[in-house]
Amino acid sequence: MMSHTQDPLDLFGIDYLEFYVSNARQAAHFYRSTLGMAPVAYAGLETGLRDRTSYVLERRHVRFLLTAPNLPGHPVGDHIARHGDGVRDIALRVRDAAAAYHAALRNGAQGVLEPTTTEDSHGRIVKATIAAYGDTVHSFIERDGYRGPFMPGFRAITERPPVPETGIAAIDHIVGNVELGHMEEWVDYYRDVLGFRQMIHFDDKDISTEYSALMSKVMQNGSGKIKFPINEPAGGRKKSQIAEFLEYYGGPGVQHIALSTGDICATVDTLRDAGIPFISVPPSYYDDLEGRVGRIDESRAALEERSILVDRDEEGYLLQIFSQPLQDRPTLFIEIIQRKGSRGFGKGNFRALFESIEREQEKRGNL
């Protein structure tokens, strides 16, 4: 039995999320002006990178790497042709990338990139990559002591365009959708390969209602800092939102990124003003809110006005809201979450939320 604090791969947290996008310059503009991510580093033709362009955006503890192909017939372009814009790499920061990579391979992972060292006058980075669900990968990043902008090959972006103050502070969790019957396989992968454990208070019985049409298990690393729920579709009365994702993404992939804030009302107002559309819930959701979740600090009106959902468990409560898909395909979306003691994922909201998502699916002709 593994202890709760043990972390065999020495995972410090999420180093960055790499998105493969068709146009990195425009995607950088989108994530800056909507989520308040500041562009900090660039690599492309001007830096000697011939085949692709990458922008690095940061905000507090969140780092995005947006990568687009510069030439036809490029693997990044092939990825986009199949999946549309989406998350390619959930990169994990480690103390020793080579050790993490070899341990992962010993435990059954498939290698994608052998440990590779790059160096410049700012120091040294070691990167190694393993396969995860679908075409998604996990890179291990060792950057201790590196003082440059992001990685060797990148140059700092010195222009400072306006960046809205959105209150987004960190990545709370990242959800993966996998095919029917494959959830357990990926639960085993996170346990055996990355040394994660399943969060015990999240039982799949709780979310297998007639509305849910999905099964979910939450895997987290030893420190509890990294949380990856894994969903698979389940048979329901209607076409599952997970099945819709799998069809449009062309297989398993990252369904949503949950971003934490200390003031969800202010964050939602800023994002909505910037053009992020959120899923609205019917007014009836708020009818007996206090009866369901007890006393909360926020006013019911403030939450109802913004369609913010509330859930409580034995440790406290959480506030959450889900965006519409961020691209043309009904694939990746974001969640904004504010935790007030609860370490859960809002299972009490599943029914109301799924009914709302189904209304959106209906508009797309996918129900």
State the residues that interact with Fe ion by CB under 5 A: 258, 335
* Nearer to Fe ion (CB atom), residue 67 or residue 216: 216
How big is the CA angle at 336 (ends 302 and 7), to the nearest 5 degrees? 140
Write the DSSP assignment of 181-228 as a string of letters. Answer: T-HHHHHHHHHHTT--EE-TT--GGGG-STTT-EEEEEEE-TTS--EE
* Nearer to Fe ion (CB atom), residue 311 or residue 335: 335
> Whole-number minimum distance, CB 257 to Fe ion, in Å?
9
The rounded distance, in Å, linking the Cα atoms of 196 and 217 is 12
* Nearer to Fe ion (CB atom), residue 100 or residue 310: 310
> Whole-number minimum distance, CB 285 to Fe ion, in Å?
17
> Whole-number minimum distance, CB 228 to Fe ion, in Å?
10
- Strands in 197-198's sheet, in edge-to-edge order, are 197-198, 214-220, 227-233, 168-177, 253-261, 333-340, 316-322, 309-313
- Strands in 52-59's sheet, in edge-to-edge order, are 111-120, 123-131, 137-142, 86-94, 11-20, 62-69, 52-59, 38-43, 155-156
Helix axes 241-249, 350-363, angle to 10 degrees: 50
> Whole-number minimum distance, CB 173 to Fe ion, in Å?
6
The rounded distance, in Å, linking the Cα atoms of 232 and 304 is 30
* Nearer to Fe ion (CB atom), residue 135 or residue 335: 335
> Whole-number minimum distance, CB 212 to Fe ion, in Å?
14
> Whole-number minimum distance, CB 73 to Fe ion, in Å?
36
> Whole-number minimum distance, CB 337 to Fe ion, in Å?
7
* Nearer to Fe ion (CB atom), residue 132 or residue 353: 353
Task: Name the CA dihedral angle for 97, 98, 100, 105, rounded to a multiple of 10 degrees.
Answer: 140
* Nearer to Fe ion (CB atom), residue 213 or residue 258: 258
Which residues face 345 on adjacent strands? none
The β-bridge relationship of strands 168-177 and 227-233 is: parallel
* Nearer to Fe ion (CB atom), residue 103 or residue 336: 336
* Nearer to Fe ion (CB atom), residue 55 or residue 64: 64
* Nearer to Fe ion (CB atom), residue 54 or residue 307: 307
The rounded distance, in Å, linking the Cα atoms of 212 and 354 is 6
CB 255 within 8 A of CB 176: yes
> Whole-number minimum distance, CB 226 to Fe ion, in Å?
14
> Whole-number minimum distance, CB 208 to Fe ion, in Å?
17
| CA 278 distance to own-chain centroid | 17
The secondary structure element, H or E, covering residue 111 is: strand 111-120
